[in-house]
Chains A and B, each alone.
Chain A
């Protein structure tokens, strides 16, 4: 669908009344209507089993809707092979150990872009750049299983980044990461958004969601129940719906509401609102 060498413009994604049930009868999605504009950065949140992972696996064709349609740039992808969609949609899975297989970090990262047809020095450059993006630039020859879990997770992320797809999906990217790892992931997200790629992340880390994404979609029992900017989704008026989805708003949003500062989903917004509300103290000594 796209050459891995080109920086293809991000396409739009549309879920048109999509429903899906697993073979055991578990109904995972019900009439989902969702439109994601090119270049949007969007977080999907919800309790375990709410349908988040099922939803994103429809975007790269791993799952096909039972009813409804998934459209990328207006085209129904029902008949498109996953291997073909992989050039358009990069999906970093939650568990790195369910994908790492190569004898070195660089070989692992090269797997995706090589499958997309990249070879030679262009491939080497892509691998090096992706490893550096996640802070593993010094580990090119290291066996993936000699890395700790959080670094294996970053390696799995690099292996998808190297494919340089116009749509990037991250499933729980901050889980198991320390502060430095979370900062790395934030950097990756910011860079991808800055490059105009469409970015979708599934996360239970509300602070990460509020700080890094411009749109938040809340799912509950296979349906989209809230959809908006972080200040709207985490505003006090939405807390009832959030709690019904077993979610807690981020701490700055709660503190801001308690202090009457309005919607302050991020640390920065909370501090700024606090500074406006509190007159600066004069030193009388």
Chain B
């Protein structure tokens, strides 16, 4: 029996575009595991190299990589999203750093300190480096590529599902909230008026988000089951992201880098 042929939508392969597409640019075209390894190296460097050198080096590298892969704007959004946490870190350290005794000024009973300011800024820079490193890998990697690569490397189906659901949860929820807000505003809910009027909109916004998410979980579970999700045997992957020699080299270099930084730190050569 002749198998059904696929429409020749991608030149030469007879496969749909989403199967054969290749990401453009050096960083984007790296294997997802390579990007995660590089991100791990950056995080370790930011937190382990003492003083400003670690976070400054990592943030500069991230900015250059983001500019090269055209994700600088996305990375800035991530930075803005981390702003409340950064502010709280600054406030807590500025006023409450234990043992700090070099006040900048006295504001009533409070005395912000220079040590607190320095420590707060350093911690905030490290946090920013951490979130930006992870975000850059996320922003430059299609979710299906990440999951396909995890499957190829032997992560079980349930593991892949859990990772996929977690990674997709944030953008899906943002999209859902946007639509729900539009629907409720169209029914006269005030999201632009006084704060107490806006507060009344919490339930009309939150309830469809929660109910919708629960209904989606049930539907998704049934859809997966109906497509043999729990069937025994090895899965056939429609597409796997490329894993070239340069990926292997970069991963080994990242591992070596992590080990070197940790060793230098333990021997006291970097702080």
A residues at B contact (CB < 8 Å): 57, 60, 62, 81-83, 86-87, 89-91, 93, 95, 97-102, 111-112, 115-116, 145, 159-160, 163
Among residues 154 to 201 in chain B, which have CB atoms less than 8 Å away from a CB atom of chain A?
176, 179-180, 182-193
Binds A, one of B32-40, B94-102, B117-125, B205-213: B205-213
B residues at A contact (CB < 8 Å): 176, 179-180, 182-193, 203-208, 211-212, 215
> B188 and A95: CB pair below 8 A?
no
Smallest CB-CB separation from B177: which chain A residue?
A: A98
> A60 and B186: CB pair below 8 A?
yes
Beyond A98-B176, A145-B211, whether A93 also contacts B186 by CB under 8 A is yes
- A105→B140 CA distance, assembly (Å): 44
Beyond A98-B212, A101-B208, A101-B211, whether A81 also contacts B188 by CB under 8 A is no
- A123→B186 CA distance, assembly (Å): 18
Among candidates A60, A90, A101, A145, residue contacting B204 with C-beta atoms closer than 8 Å: A101
Smallest CB-CB separation from A91: which chain B residue?
A: B186
- A100→B86 CA distance, assembly (Å): 36
20 further contact pairs, Cβ within 8 A, besides A86-B185, A98-B179, A101-B206 = A62-B182, A81-B193, A82-B192, A83-B188, A83-B190, A86-B188, A87-B188, A93-B179, A97-B211, A97-B215, A98-B180, A98-B183, A99-B187, A101-B207, A101-B208, A111-B204, A112-B188, A116-B188, A160-B186, A160-B187
Smallest CB-CB separation from B176: which chain A residue?
A: A98
Smallest CB-CB separation from A113: which chain B residue?
A: B188
Smallest CB-CB separation from A4: which chain B residue?
A: B188
Instruction: Give min CB distance, B5 to chain A, whole Å.
Output: 24
Q: Which residues does chain A contribute within 8 Å of B182, judged by CB atoms?
A: 57, 62, 93
A-B contact count (CB 8 A): 76
> A115 and B180: CB pair below 8 A?
no
**Could you give 10 example pairs across A and B, Cβ below 8 Å?**
A62-B182, A62-B186, A82-B192, A93-B182, A95-B179, A98-B176, A98-B183, A102-B207, A112-B187, A115-B189
Q: Which residues does chain B contribute within 8 Å of A93, judged by CB atoms?
A: 179, 182-183, 186
Instruction: Give min CB distance, A194 to chain B, whole Å.
Output: 24
Q: Which residues does chain B contribute within 8 Å of A81, judged by CB atoms?
A: 190, 192-193
Instruction: Give min CB distance, B170 to chain A, whole Å.
Output: 17
> A115 and B188: CB pair below 8 A?
yes
- A160→B184 CA distance, assembly (Å): 10
- A160→B187 CA distance, assembly (Å): 7
> B208 and A98: CB pair below 8 A?
yes
- A86→B191 CA distance, assembly (Å): 12
> A83 and B185: CB pair below 8 A?
yes
Instruction: Give min CB distance, A237 to chain B, whole Å.
Output: 31
Among candidates A83, A97, A159, residue contacting B208 with C-beta atoms closer than 8 Å: A97
- A274→B212 CA distance, assembly (Å): 49
- A101→B205 CA distance, assembly (Å): 8
- A11→B208 CA distance, assembly (Å): 32
Instruction: Give min CB distance, B223 to chain A, whole Å.
Output: 15
> A115 and B203: CB pair below 8 A?
no
Q: Which residues does chain B contribute within 8 Å of A87, judged by CB atoms?
A: 188
- A235→B180 CA distance, assembly (Å): 39
Instruction: Give min CB distance, B244 to chain A, whole Å.
Output: 30
Q: Which residues does chain B contribute within 8 Å of A159, judged by CB atoms?
A: 187
Instruction: Give min CB distance, B190 to chain A, whole Å.
Output: 4
> B190 and A99: CB pair below 8 A?
no
- A165→B206 CA distance, assembly (Å): 26
Q: Which residues does chain A contribute within 8 Å of B176, judged by CB atoms?
A: 98
- A119→B191 CA distance, assembly (Å): 21
Q: Tell which of B182, B187, B207, B211 has the most Cβ of chain A within 10 Å.
A: B187
Smallest CB-CB separation from B185: which chain A residue?
A: A82
> A115 and B187: CB pair below 8 A?
yes
Q: Which residues does chain B contribute within 8 Å of A89, judged by CB atoms?
A: 186
> B180 and A83: CB pair below 8 A?
no
- A234→B212 CA distance, assembly (Å): 38
Beyond A83-B191, A97-B211, A98-B180, whether A62 also contacts B185 by CB under 8 A is yes
Beyond A111-B204, A115-B190, whether A99 also contacts B185 by CB under 8 A is no
Smallest CB-CB separation from B175: which chain A residue?
A: A98
Instruction: Give min CB distance, A8 to chain B, whole Å.
Output: 15
> A86 and B211: CB pair below 8 A?
no
Smallest CB-CB separation from A90: which chain B residue?
A: B186
- A82→B191 CA distance, assembly (Å): 9
Instruction: Give min CB distance, B231 to chain A, whole Å.
Output: 29
Instruction: Give min CB distance, A55 to chain B, whole Å.
Output: 14
Beyond A82-B192, A83-B191, whether A97 also contacts B186 by CB under 8 A is no
- A87→B187 CA distance, assembly (Å): 8
Instruction: Give min CB distance, B81 to chain A, whole Å.
Output: 16
Q: Which residues does chain B contribute within 8 Å of A111, judged by CB atoms?
A: 184, 187, 189, 204
Q: Which residues does chain A contribute within 8 Å of B192, judged by CB atoms?
A: 81-83
Which are the 5 A-B pairs with shortest beta-carbon distances?
A: A115-B188, A101-B207, A99-B183, A86-B188, A112-B187
- A192→B192 CA distance, assembly (Å): 30
